[in-house]
Structure 1
Amino acid sequence: MATHTSEHHKYYVPEPSPWPFMLTVALFLMLGAAGFWLNGSTTVAPYIAAVGLAMVLVMVFIWFRDVVHENRTGAYGVQEDRTYRYAMMWFIFSEVMFFAAFFGALFYTRMIALPWLNGEGEKFFTNVYLWPQFEGAWPTNGPGNIGGDFETVNAWHLPLINTLLLLTSSVTITWAHWGLKEDNRWKLCLGLAATAALGAFFLYWQAVEYIEAYEHLGLTLGSGIYGSTFFLLTGFHGMHVTLGTLMLIIILLRCLKGHFSSHDHFGFEAVAWYWHFVDVVWLGLFIFVYIL
């Protein structure tokens, strides 16, 4: 009996798995081929990138299946649950630092580099010797009118709609969490489905916004420092919304199968944490990229 108790409290270590290696190969194929594709190689690179993407999806599905099976068979205890929570906290912190770097670049450009280029300060005469016609107003495509003239996206149109969508999604996922704590499966699944749908609508309107920016506003990645920071910040956020929406769909499917309970549902909580993080980042984007 003592031996059984000792073994029960051991930290669970899974059997060696080929999936991390296979996923690494798939990511290498997908990203490497995508890089060649973006640089003009359109013969084989698109097909290799598609194969790599398919492999990534298959590997992630199989890996998720194994982890779910471990959880459902009771392999995880209190210590494993604590480890997963710490890991998710550190992951979100790393994502905060990721976006902080881009917000920092935006701040540096607007508050430091732009005034220098405009001639502010006793030691900076770039406006006199290099770009005498340059006016340090934001938004800018830099000295030399890089990428041509452009217009900014109207903050009170599609960006406002997307802000309302994400704010509403924070409410629906919280509502779903309450349903899970109450063991109300209908409330849980409806809240998750609504959150995933709102995420999908957000991505649709962002795609419409990008098309409008490229085709009608002249705003592209090549539109100087404003264009590059705009698309890097909003594009990476859109990628995070995409991943978050996929995770919500996976959690919804698990809930429909009867997974999770009011006392054991960290998989749901991890996705909810991530989604709230995505919402907060968007509020920063809406204020500092679209409005100011």
Structure 2
Amino acid sequence: MPVKCQPYYVPSQSPWPLMGALGLFLLAAGAGLWVSGLATFAGHIVFSLGVLVMVVMLFGWFGNVIQESKSGLYSTQMHRSFRLGMSWFIFSEVMFFAALFGVLFYIRILVVPWLGGASNNAMTHAVLWPNFVPDWPMLLTPGGTKTTAMGWFGLPLINTLVLISSSFTLYVAHRALLHNRRNSLALWLGCTALLGITFLVLQTWEYSHAYQELGLKLDSGIYGNTFFLLTGFHGAHVILGTLLLVTMWLRVQRGDFTQAQHFGFQAAAWYWHFVDLVWLVLFMTVYVL
């Protein structure tokens, strides 16, 4: 008996991938010029242009996908492809943060003891940094600048509670969607987005406190580098996740998503739970340990 195959929709040629590549290039080039100080003003312009290109690309590309889905062009295999694609994307993000945490542990477990003269490296200690004290966090830079470590109590702990709460509210929203409780879905999804915005506001406040009161800056030695590198990249992911949540909330208001078909919501939820999990690891390794 012949097997009936579902049609697999293949979209026509699209400008969005090329525009996305251009936007990412402008973002990287602008950030490089900006952070390096080679051309700060030009870096601002190029980075802002990259943001604009990425926003246009995302709205256009996702808009096309939404329209194609609502038109019934996607088969079961197509939905499976979307899930696999999102799974691999999150896996790539896991590897990205694994590399960043690997840098942190490499410094703390290997480099700091080496510089301190451990493991028969007394000559390295004497030649490279005779006054170095093998302790973490490293609060005294090679230039003699004194910094202060960011404690785990206060804003970091509050932000941890905020993100844990946001995972709970998103779970409740997902359950409401599965049971077709639209009002409850909109309420709890909106709460999740507000918690994401709250996290970003508190992190901005934390950065201001670090710069103005603790003397902890991006150029404050290796401790400042790793602190802002890890928390900054995580913050960028929170921004993206919050934008996804707000977009899903707007689509809910428009009547999108059903109990059986809601991959857009599910993908945003996967990403948000991943971001929350990364923060828990980051909170323990950067702030507490």
TM range, smaller chain = over 0.9
Paired residue for 2:151? 154
Task: Give the residue type in structure 1 aligned to 2:250.
Answer: L
- Which string of whole-angstrom CA distances, capped at 9 and with x for unpartnered residues, describes residues 168-202 of structure 1? 00000000000000000011111110000000000
In 1: Cα distance, 2:141 partner to 2:262 partner = 54
Q: Which of 19, 24, 31 is matched with 2:21 structurally?
A: 24
Paired residue for 2:179? 182
Task: Give the residue type in structure 2 aligned to 1:196.
Answer: A
Task: Give the residue type in structure 2 aligned to 1:92.
Answer: I
Q: Which of 226, 233, 255 is matched with 2:230 structurally?
A: 233
Q: Which of 116, 137, 140 is matched with 2:138 structurally?
A: 140
- Which string of whole-angstrom CA distances, capped at 9 and with x for unpartnered residues, describes residues 207-244 of structure 1? 11111111111111111111111111000000000000
Paired residue for 1:201? 198
Q: CA deviation at 1:45?
A: 4.2
For the residue of structure 1 that corresponds to 2:131, the secondary structure is: coil
Q: Which of 8, 11, 16 is matched with 2:8 structurally?
A: 11
Asked whether the 8 Å contact 2:139–2:149 carries over to 1, the reply is: no
Q: CA deviation at 1:41?
A: 2.0
Change (3 A) 1:108 1:49: closer
Structure 2: gaps of 5 or more residues: none
Asked whether the 8 Å contact 1:134–1:143 carries over to 2, the reply is: no
In 1: Cα distance, 2:121 partner to 2:14 partner = 60
The CA RMSD measured in Å over matched residues stands at 1.8
Aligned residues: 286
In 2: Cα distance, 1:129 partner to 1:137 partner = 18
Structure 1: gaps of 5 or more residues: none
For the residue of structure 2 that corresponds to 1:194, the secondary structure is: helix
Change (3 A) 1:37 1:109: closer
In 1: Cα distance, 2:219 partner to 2:89 partner = 31
Answer yes or no: is 1:35 the counterpart of 2:32.
Answer: yes
For the residue of structure 2 that corresponds to 1:125, the secondary structure is: helix
Percent identity (aligned): 49
- Which string of whole-angstrom CA distances, capped at 9 and with x for unpartnered residues, describes residues 265-287 of structure 1? 11111111111111111001111
Could you state the TM-score of these two structures normalised by the residue count of structure 1? Answer: 0.92
Paired residue for 1:87? 85
Q: Which runs of 4+ in 1 moved over 3 A?
A: 42-45
Q: CA deviation at 1:142?
A: 6.6
